[in-house]
Structure 1
Amino acid sequence: MSHMLDIESWNRKSQFLFFRGYDNPFFNICTSVDVTRLLQWVKSRGRSFFIGYLYLSLRAANDLPEFRYRIRGDGVLVHDRIHAGSTILNPDETFSFCYFDYFSTFEQFETNAHRVLQEHAAAGGGLEARDDRDDLIHCSVIPWLGFTSFSHARRFGRRDSVPKIVFGKAEKAGRQIRMPVSVEVHHALMDGIHVAKFVERFQGYLSDPEGSLR
């Protein structure tokens, strides 16, 4: 069950109070991850690379409490589980948002993800923005190019505290295939060390698809 965080006993109380009033309290870190083994795994089995890395990123985010924190009024709500809202390219080169529930097993997640994509295609597109939900990670996919920095469109009048993750083009780098990843988070809720923990855990899952896609 979701619950409110005890701010008074939180070791980041001072940082929370310091950053929550900023006009722009978000910070963004761009890095890259090695997706060589995941690509080999999905290609050998005829599976979706996108669904694979989306699941593993959600698994890593759900592992870390800070990625499940959301600002509610003057407090912090801790979601029990978070899901993904991701951009999807339409045939006319516009995009829509699709929503992918997180499941503890990849088989369940994959089955549901294919259903979501099929229903979206049958409905003929539509933006389908769900601003009323914050139990999400906002994901964007830009598989046509690499990047080393990224910025998001924002409405600063709205008290948004949802993390945003962007995945770029997977490209050969020496003996590896690497994919750029941008992670943007609210500084009142976490620091650079928490983003580093997310990337480390995400990379660990990517490097062991046989064990992590269960």
Structure 2
Amino acid sequence: MKNFELRRDRYDAFRQFDNPLVNISLTLELPEFRPFCKQRQLSPFHFFLYCVLSAIETIDNFMYRIHEDEVIKIDDFIGSFTVINGDNNLNFARFARSADLREFTARSVRAAQEATASRVLINTHADLTPRQMRENVFITCMPWFDMRAIEHPIFRHRDSDIPSLAWGRFSAPAGATMTLPFSVQAHHGFVDGFHVHLLAQAIAQRVAEVIAEHAPA
């Protein structure tokens, strides 16, 4: 929490706002990872989810939460994301993350299959304590269009401390790089635009690292 103390005055200022959230949309530039996924029979979505969640935990500002009116720093978070079920309705998937790419994607795929098959809305927080509920990052993917911006539903803005990330359709294949529309919503007491910039860099770096780590010897 040493780093947080350097911005506690910013947090104290923004916590007074009725809506302390900052919401930034950008075009994320990444190494082209779809051929890598195709060669290894990996879903591009689940591969990218692995890289995004791996990147988030490297930046303290995205790990701060509010619990019992105090700021805490979480050490880890669950994997979760939205899906569309067989009735074309929203549902939620949840799984325990793994540092191993293959295991992570296998768990993520199973969670997606379960949520897609359920007609009932899955409450991924039902079995969690209030403290455990802070150990989350909200993920939404809308692959059908070139998303320009998004405003997430918020139960109570002043208490909203969990970052919400969303992305849209991947760009058409065009060489060594790819782009996608990407959005980050977070508590401004913790996150500034600069930290969103750092996250964008960290995601691109993580994609490159994972591809390099699994390259043939």
Task: Give TM class, smaller chain.
Answer: 0.7 to 0.9
Structure 1 residue 136 displacement after superposition: 0.8
CA distance, structure 1, for counterparts of residue 195 and residue 157 of structure 2 = 26
**Aligned with 1:57 (options 52, 56, 60):** 52
- Pair 1:142-2:137 in alignment: no
Alignment of 1:21-170 (within 5 A): 21-35=16-30, 37-121=32-116, 124-131=118-125, 132=130, 133-156=133-156, 159-170=159-170
| Unpaired segments ≥5 residues, structure 2 | none
Structure 1 residue 126 displacement after superposition: 2.4
State the AA in 2 paired with 1:21: Q
State the AA in 2 paired with 1:198: L
Structure 1 residue 61 displacement after superposition: 0.6
CA distance, structure 1, for counterparts of residue 52 and residue 119 of structure 2 = 25
User: Is 1:105–1:213's contact at 8 Å kept on the other side of the alignment?
Assistant: no
User: Is 2:79–2:136's contact at 8 Å kept on the other side of the alignment?
Assistant: yes
Query: Matched residue pairs, number?
Result: 208
Structure 1 residue 16 displacement after superposition: 0.9
CA distance, structure 2, for counterparts of residue 198 and residue 113 of structure 1 = 22
TM-score (norm 1): 0.86
Residues 150 and 41 (structure 1), Cα distance of their counterparts in 2 relative to 1, 3 Å cut: same
Q: RMSD between aligned alpha carbons?
A: 2.4
State the AA in 2 paired with 1:119: E
Q: Match of 2:206? A: 205
CA distance, structure 2, for counterparts of residue 6 and residue 209 of structure 1 = 30
CA distance, structure 1, for counterparts of residue 40 and residue 194 of structure 2 = 35
Structure 1 residue 74 displacement after superposition: 3.0
Structure 1, residues 75-107: CA drift from partner, whole Å, max 9, x if none? Answer: 111111123321111122112000132222212
User: What is the percentage of aligned positions where both structures have the same residue?
Assistant: 24
Residue 60 of structure 1: SS of its match in structure 2? helix
Moved more, 135-144 or 62-71: 62-71
User: Is 2:83–2:116's contact at 8 Å kept on the other side of the alignment?
Assistant: no
CA distance, structure 2, for counterparts of residue 45 and residue 173 of structure 1 = 18
Residue 57 of structure 2: SS of its match in structure 1? helix
User: Is 1:58–1:102's contact at 8 Å kept on the other side of the alignment?
Assistant: no
Structure 1, residues 168-204: CA drift from partner, whole Å, max 9, x if none? Answer: 0012386443111100000112222211111110011
Structure 1, residues 114-138: CA drift from partner, whole Å, max 9, x if none? Answer: 332343355x342223455121110
CA distance, structure 2, for counterparts of residue 201 and residue 6 of structure 1 = 21
Moved more, 131-140 or 59-68: 131-140
Residues 142 and 172 (structure 1), Cα distance of their counterparts in 2 relative to 1, 3 Å cut: same
- Pair 1:189-2:190 in alignment: yes
CA distance, structure 2, for counterparts of residue 18 and residue 24 of structure 1 = 12
